[in-house]
A and B are shown apart, each in its own frame.
Chain A
């Protein structure tokens, strides 16, 4: 499925950033384990929120990071002068990012929340991973399309636009969040959310590809 060029480009990204990737992953795992050690009798759900939040922040960071370097140093211009298709370019970034996200989520949740997720909440584990992947892809596409500040802030603003109303409605005792939670727990909520996330991920990939295909290289560098 992944052609040689995509594998070569993704491997190049991991090779260029491996120190930063490993360091940030170790730091995040360290913070989580420290949090667990400081509150040995804390509720697993609270720890799950911490693990999710850190993974989510780092996914956004990696998305921004993988593209910023190419745009800022103009290396994307060199890549585009080689026989690399725009499909290869976009897909390889998503593959490199997915590698980072999946490995961190598996490592951090496996080390600190194994008993919480497995085997009872495996579906939740997978849906949360999909959500982080989708957010990472959003951050990647925002950075392709916008300048640094906007590219950094926009994905977080969009995610906040979804999460904050839900949290506020729940706090104010509105019915909708309760109904959604019931659907999530008992109905086909998890499958529906997973499907929606997959559709979003593919739409982001397709939209980014369509935009890059239309763009002159000068629009892809800063």
Chain B
């Protein structure tokens, strides 16, 4: 049982021409986290490092009090990683794929796998190469959860799915997390609707660095102000995010903080009546300063 969740400490991964991090954060057990960012921001790299598909260049990943070592199979028994396009053996049937996975996990729960299979309406005899994209992701989820994973990492699982299949996937993830507490979800996507439906907390990644970290609920409590770019705003600790665009400075701060009142009195300042929406936030992080 997890006592404390995943923690990244000054984690870095360097490739020629790209550096991820240093990133530090902590994920609480039982919550769902969204990782969002444009292509090339480093989302998949981060998920690869956490799931031991890529070796960190520096820093460490910890789970509870234990550092995760490279090639730690014990760690791989506690987590699961579902890629955008799960690469199963197309010639094998769903049942044979699960049988193979069951022989590789010491903690595989056969009964749970069978219940997930029937719940997700996957035909055991069907060959994997004949599954739709959505069903392949479902199979990925069955193989990912049947060993009672504590952390489920999903890398853009809804990409390429139609709206109905995507809604179904949201429902599945919400239900699984409700029923199998304390399952932690780390969900990478650039479909904002996914995040709205599934995640509790959000990380926005750009050019290898977190430009926003916060709870989804917190967004509702943030006010968005537009002030003239020429105004010299000293960065207040209340400022959650600030960006420049079209000659204006956009500032997101909690509605009820004193700095919000100060901002509203600035000449030419305008508060966006919609507040800080997810799409505004996502767009804003592209120009964050």
Asked if B81 is at the interface of the complex by the 8 Å CB criterion, the answer is yes
* Docked-complex contact B87 and A217, CB < 8 angstroms: no
* Docked-complex contact B54 and A218, CB < 8 angstroms: yes
* B-chain residues with CB within 8 Å of residue A78 when the two chains form the complex: 83, 86-88
Question: How far does the Cβ of B113 sit from chain A's closest Cβ, in whole Å?
Answer: 14
Asked if A178 is at the interface of the complex by the 8 Å CB criterion, the answer is no
Could you tell me which residues of chain A, from 37 to 87, have a CB within 8 Å of some CB in chain B?
73-75, 77-78, 80-86
Cα distance, A82 to B89, chains bound together (Å): 14
Asked if B73 is at the interface of the complex by the 8 Å CB criterion, the answer is yes
Instruction: Name which of A5, A12, A82 has the most chain B CB atoms within 10 A of its CB.
Output: A82
Could you tell me which residues of chain B, from 70 to 120, have a CB within 8 Å of some CB in chain A?
71, 73-74, 76-77, 80-81, 83, 86-92, 96, 100-101, 103-106
* A-chain residues with CB within 8 Å of residue B105 when the two chains form the complex: 82-83
Of all chain B residues, which has the CB nearest A86?
B71
* Docked-complex contact A217 and B53, CB < 8 angstroms: yes
* Docked-complex contact B89 and A84, CB < 8 angstroms: no
* Docked-complex contact A8 and B53, CB < 8 angstroms: no
Of all chain B residues, which has the CB nearest A213?
B71
Instruction: Name which of A8, A74, A216 has the most chain B CB atoms within 10 A of its CB.
Output: A216
Cα distance, A4 to B88, chains bound together (Å): 20
Asked if B51 is at the interface of the complex by the 8 Å CB criterion, the answer is yes
* Docked-complex contact B100 and A216, CB < 8 angstroms: no
Interface size of A as a range: 20 to 34
Contact A16:B92 (CB < 8 A) given known A73-B87, A81-B80: yes
Contact A216:B48 (CB < 8 A) given known A8-B104, A81-B81, A83-B106: yes
Question: How far does the Cβ of B148 sit from chain A's closest Cβ, in whole Å?
Answer: 13
Contact of B89 among A75, A80, A217, A218 (CB under 8 A): A75
* B-chain residues with CB within 8 Å of residue A9 when the two chains form the complex: 104
Task: Give the A-B contact count at a CB cut-off of 8 A.
Answer: 67
* A-chain residues with CB within 8 Å of residue B88 when the two chains form the complex: 75, 78
* Docked-complex contact B100 and A74, CB < 8 angstroms: no
Interface size of B as a range: 20 to 34
Cα distance, A214 to B105, chains bound together (Å): 23
Of all chain A residues, which has the CB nearest B102?
A8
Question: How far does the Cβ of A77 sit from chain B's closest Cβ, in whole Å?
Answer: 6
* Docked-complex contact A12 and B51, CB < 8 angstroms: no
Could you tell me which residues of chain A, from 84 to 137, have a CB within 8 Å of some CB in chain B?
84-86
Contact A217:B48 (CB < 8 A) given known A77-B53, A84-B73: yes
Contact A82:B55 (CB < 8 A) given known A16-B89, A73-B90, A77-B83: no
* A-chain residues with CB within 8 Å of residue B106 when the two chains form the complex: 83
* Docked-complex contact B104 and A84, CB < 8 angstroms: yes
* B-chain residues with CB within 8 Å of residue A216 when the two chains form the complex: 48, 53-55
* Docked-complex contact B104 and A82, CB < 8 angstroms: yes
Known: A4-B103, A74-B87, A80-B53. 8 other contacts (CB 8 A): A12-B100, A77-B87, A82-B104, A83-B73, A83-B105, A84-B104, A216-B54, A217-B48
A-B contact pairs, 20 of them (CB 8 A): A7-B103, A8-B100, A8-B103, A16-B89, A75-B87, A75-B89, A78-B83, A78-B86, A80-B52, A81-B51, A81-B81, A81-B83, A82-B104, A83-B73, A84-B104, A85-B71, A216-B48, A216-B54, A217-B54, A218-B53
- Chain A residues packing against B (C-beta within 8 Å): 4-5, 7-9, 12, 15-16, 73-75, 77-78, 80-86, 213-214, 216-218
